């Protein structure tokens, strides 16, 4: 966490306060920053402290402090019982985690990346997602599956897939994909407290990114509701809908476009199951144009789902142009640096798409 | 055992009458395994198995009508008809699982939770000779041994994985040794007392901190793999007859207790009669009871639903997500 020295903060803000008329006091102390990594770490720590049944298992989560250092310090604090290194056997340890959840514990099962979750996907879907329904509401499965999802940098085809579409397809799961540090903290805590199976799709590139964090978010009881999107940037000309890293790309594009007088409304989905259809529809009714942005593949992707929902909703009648999906290229991820860059949407791709949809040069 | 035998016979008949649909895997012949194991289980112990579980469901506290009506998909079924043959649940009984082998890691997880919470419970994780080669079982043998998890891996070896005999499916059919670094015992699964004693031994082994154990119960199923399998294309009728006549678990136990003077023939007759009446009544109810209403189709997808509706067949008829079940892990 990086903060300005307290003294100078107070002076600056007192001056601001005296020179402004209407002022929200919570903004005065909004000078703290937190990386996504620390937000997750803090969220995990707080929930483990709060509920003894919460435990973390996965490869390298304990002694190594986490492959991406998300669980740094937790093993030292909580010990072998609550932070557990597993052998490299995803199907086995995911199944054990699900069984432990059925029996009343609150496991957080880390997949080192979601690419490896494919080895365990039967346990996620057939054991975790469906059991509550099959048991006519007897056995709920309060488990969290978390880990980095989607494209990283230079890790090639087998380590770069986005699983948002795969998991959000299945009833019985809740699926979240946070962007800001507050999103990560609030959603990991909400996921752990949720009595149903929750898939938390993080992003390796975001782990090191610092975001401003409000005072409210520093509280041990700060939660972000699962299923609610957030408007990161209001706008009136076009709506951009994205999740995870694609929100950053959309915001970058929006900044550039604002310089040309085009105001984009950027929606950070935060959850992809449930999908906050209401927020998207409301926005489209306002802006009449929609582009979805994601790093995952186009076919049957998150953008496809958003398009379908818009088609089936009142928002269709407010569209002045077809909805366009900006997605990763429909090919396995290449290693070559320039090709990898070209395989994923960049802000200029979004800018171009916006201009085309708005019929602007 | 007799109750289970009758129950399974009734199920077979109902299936032939087309009142049970989909899959129906009968336990007839294997009764000594379940009943023997249950006899050694303590209240804090749990069990999980695959899909040949009608008998286990009954043993874990569900009345026969709850089992049979579940098979016919009616509301008095133990999960209201929503699960069917392969997805029945009761206290400390985690199903009823359809994916071969997946129940074993789940069972290790249940045992893990028992150790974590200090309940002193063990979990019996059952699987067949067909499932015994599943990679995920070896993955959890490893973890169970590493972490000293009180899990008893029970391989119910009935000689056939569907239509593939154990010899044709496994390079090593000594299933009790497959745990390698986990000690294993072999039990005559047709002898209810042997099963009970072996299970007792296994439970003591686990709760004394010695870690997991493998237990192979050698048994036999009279029916085919499921009701769609006559069970004769891969084995001879003579073989089945032979087991029925010489090794039937119920007949041999009956002889034992009669000879020992522990019961009289009349007492047994009364018992068998009562059982027949119970099953007959259960079948009647299972035939005539109603299915749950359509309003229960979107019910209990989530224990804490975040949206009020479930998307229907078309966007114009979304269904109301209701909450009905007790959700044992809610708080």
Q: Any chain A CB within 8 A of the CB of B142?
A: yes
Q: Are B217 and B301 contained in the same domain? A: no
Q: Any chain A CB within 8 A of the CB of B293?
A: no
DSSP B205-266: HIIIII--EEEEEE---SS-SSTT--S-SSS-HHHHHHHHHHT-HHHHHHHHHHHTTSS-HH
Q: Are B304 and B175 contained in the same domain? A: no
Identify the helix (H) or strand (E) that includes residue A189. Answer: helix A181-193
Q: Are B250 and B320 contained in the same domain? A: no
Beta strand B151-157 pairing with A32-35: unpaired
Active site residues of A: 90, 159
Q: What's the ipTM?
A: 0.97
- Tell me if A171 and B301 make a contact (CB, 8 A cut-off): yes
CA distance B247 to chain A (A): 36
CA distance B189 to B249: 8
Tell me the pLDDT tens digit for each residue of A242-251. Answer: 999 999 999 9
The per-residue pLDDT for A23 is: 45
The domain A33-218: what is its CATH number? Answer: 3.40.50.970
The per-residue pLDDT for A13 is: 52
- Which of the residues B50, B105, B137, B322 would you substitute to probe the A interface, choosing the one with the greatest number of A C-beta atoms within 10 Å? B105
| Cross-strand partners of A83 | A56
CA distance B216 to B178: 10
Average pLDDT for chain B: 97
Q: Are B224 and B156 contained in the same domain? A: yes
Q: Any chain A CB within 8 A of the CB of B321?
A: no
pLDDT interval class at A361 (50, 70, 90): confident
Q: Are B170 and B305 contained in the same domain? A: no
A141 interaction partners in chain B (CB closer than 8 Å): 329
Please compute the mean of the pLDDT values over residues B140-162 and round it to a whole number.
97
Tell me the pLDDT tens digit for each residue of A316-331. Answer: 999 999 999 999 999 9
- Tell me if B299 and A134 make a contact (CB, 8 A cut-off): no
Among A45, A93, A51, A74, residue whose Cα is nearest residue A193: A51
The per-residue pLDDT for A1 is: 46
Q: Are B198 and B298 contained in the same domain? A: no
Q: Are B190 and B317 contained in the same domain? A: no
Q: Could you count the other beta carbons within 10 Å of the beta carbon of residue B255?
A: 11
Q: Are B279 and B304 contained in the same domain? A: no
A67, A60 contact by CB (below 8 A): yes
Tell me the pLDDT tens digit for each residue of A121-159. Answer: 999 999 999 999 999 999 999 999 999 999 999 999 999
Among A169, A202, A160, residue whose Cα is nearest residue A44: A202
Of A95, A195, A274, the CB nearest to B136: A95
Which residues are within 8 A (CB) of A183 and not within 5 positions of it... i.e. 6 or more apart? Answer: A224, A230, A268, A270
The reported pTM is: 0.94
Question: What b/e readout covers B73-107, taking b as 16+ CB neighbours within 10 angstroms?
Answer: bbbbbbbbbbbbbbbbbbebbbbbbbbbbbbbbbb
Q: HSE-up of A268 (CA within 13 Å, CB side)? A: 24
CA distance A336 to chain B (A): 35
Q: B 296-315 residues with CB below 8 A of A? A: 299-304, 306-307, 310, 315
CATH number at residue B132: 3.40.50.970
For chain A, what is the radius of gyration of the CA atoms? 21
Please compute the mean of the pLDDT values over residues B243-260 and round it to a whole number.
96
Number of compact structural domains in chain B: 2
Segments making up each domain of chain A, as ranges: 33-218, 230-358
Please compute the mean of the pLDDT values over residues B114-122 and round it to a whole number.
97
Domain encompassing residue B160: 1-288
Q: How far is CA B127 from CA A202, B74, B154, B247, in A?
A: 36, 28, 6, 22
Only one residue has tokens 């026969």, namely B64
Q: Are B300 and B209 contained in the same domain? A: no
Tell me the pLDDT tens digit for each residue of B28-70. Answer: 999 999 999 999 999 999 999 999 999 999 999 999 999 999 9
Q: What is the DSSP letter of A125?
A: I
Q: Percentage of residues in chain A with pLDDT exceeding 90?
A: 91
Q: Are B254 and B305 contained in the same domain? A: no
Which residues are within 8 A (CB) of B12 and not within 5 positions of it... i.e. 6 or more apart? Answer: B24, B26, B28, B223, B227
The per-residue pLDDT for A4 is: 46
- Tell me if A132 and B301 make a contact (CB, 8 A cut-off): yes
First to last CA, chain B: 37
The per-residue pLDDT for A217 is: 97
CA distance A280 to A35: 28
Please compute the mean of the pLDDT values over residues A197-221 and round it to a whole number.
97
Q: Are B18 and B107 contained in the same domain? A: yes
Q: Which fold has domain A230-358?
A: Rossmann fold (3.40.50)
Stretch among A111-115, A273-277, B208-212 having the lowest mean pLDDT: B208-212
Q: Are B274 and B314 contained in the same domain? A: no
């Amino acid at each position: 966490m990086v903060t300005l020295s307290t003294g100078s903060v107070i002076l600056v803000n007192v001056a601001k306060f005296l020179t402004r008329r209407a002022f929200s006091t919570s903004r005065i102390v909004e000078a703290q920053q937190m990386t996504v990594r620390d937000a997750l770490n803090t969220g995990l720590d707080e929930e483990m402290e709060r509920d003894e049944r919460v435990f973390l298992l996965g490869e390298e989560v304990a002694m190594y402090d986490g492959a991406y250092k998300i669980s740094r310090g937790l093993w030292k604090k909580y010990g072998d019982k609550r932070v557990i290194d597993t052998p490299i056997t995803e199907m086995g340890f995911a199944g054990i985690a699900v069984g432990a959840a059925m029996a009343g514990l609150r496991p957080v099962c880390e997949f080192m990346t979601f690419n490896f979750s494919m080895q365990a996907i039967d346990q996620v879907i057939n054991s975790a997602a469906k059991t509550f329904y099959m048991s006519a509401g007897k056995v709920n499965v309060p488990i969290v599956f978390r880990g980095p999802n989607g494209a990283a940098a230079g890790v090639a085809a087998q380590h770069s897939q986005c699983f948002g579409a795969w998991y959000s397809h299945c009833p019985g799961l809740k699926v979240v994909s946070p962007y800001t540090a507050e999103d990560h903290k609030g959603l990991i805590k909400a996921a752990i407290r949720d009595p149903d199976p929750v898939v938390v799709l993080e992003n390796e590139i975001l782990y090191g990114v610092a975001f401003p964090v409000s005072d409210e978010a520093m509280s041990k009881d700060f939660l972000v509701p699962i299923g609610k999107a957030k408007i990161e940037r209001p706008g009136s000309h076009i709506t951009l809908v994205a999740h995870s890293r694609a929100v950053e790309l959309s915001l970058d594009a929006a900044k550039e476009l604002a310089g040309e007088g085009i105001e984009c409304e950027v929606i950070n989905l935060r959850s992809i199951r449930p999908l906050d259809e209401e927020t998207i529809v409301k926005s489209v009714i306002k802006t009449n144009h929609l582009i979805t942005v994601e790093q995952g593949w186009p076919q049957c992707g998150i953008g496809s789902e958003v398009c379908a929902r818009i088609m089936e909703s009142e928002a269709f009648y407010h569209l002045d142009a077809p909805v366009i999906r900006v997605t990763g290229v429909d090919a396995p991820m290449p290693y070559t640096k320039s090709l990898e860059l070209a395989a994923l949407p960049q802000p200029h791709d979004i800018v171009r798409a916006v201009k085309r949809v708005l019929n602007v040069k | 055992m007799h109750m289970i035998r009758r129950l399974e016979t009734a199920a077979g008949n109902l299936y032939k009458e087309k009142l049970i649909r989909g899959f129906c895997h009968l336990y007839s012949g294997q009764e000594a395994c379940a009943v023997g194991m249950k006899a050694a289980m303590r209240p804090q112990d749990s069990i999980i198995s695959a899909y040949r579980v009608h008998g286990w469901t009954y043993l874990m506290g569900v009345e026969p009508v709850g089992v049979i009506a579940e098979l016919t998909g009616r509301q008095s079924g133990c999960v209201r008809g929503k699960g069917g043959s392969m997805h029945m649940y009761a206290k400390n009984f985690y199903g009823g699982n359809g994916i071969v082998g997946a129940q074993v890691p789940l069972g290790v997880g249940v045992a893990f939770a028992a150790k974590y919470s200090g309940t002193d419970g063990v979990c019996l994780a059952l699987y067949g000779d067909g499932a015994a080669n599943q990679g995920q079982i070896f993955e959890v043998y490893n973890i169970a041994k590493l972490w000293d998890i009180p899990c008893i891996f029970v391989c119910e070896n009935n000689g056939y994985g569907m239509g593939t005999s154990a010899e044709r499916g496994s390079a090593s059919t000594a299933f009790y040794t497959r745990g390698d670094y986990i000690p294993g015992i072999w039990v005559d699964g047709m002898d209810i007392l042997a099963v009970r004693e072996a299970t007792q031994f296994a439970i003591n082994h686990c709760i004394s901190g010695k870690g997991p154990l493998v237990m192979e119960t050698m048994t036999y199923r009279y029916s085919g793999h499921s009701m769609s399998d006559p069970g004769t294309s891969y084995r001879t009728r003579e073989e089945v007859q032979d087991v029925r006549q010489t090794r039937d678990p119920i007949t041999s136990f009956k002889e034992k207790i009669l000879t020992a003077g522990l019961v009289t023939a009349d007492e047994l007759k009364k018992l068998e009669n009562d059982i027949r009446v119970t099953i007959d009544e259960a079948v009647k109810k299972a035939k005539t009871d109603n299915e749950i209403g359509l309003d229960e189709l979107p019910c209990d997808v989530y224990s804490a639903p975040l949206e009020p509706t479930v998307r229907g067949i078309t966007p114009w008829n979304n269904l109301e997500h209701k909450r009905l079940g007790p959700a044992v892990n809610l708080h």
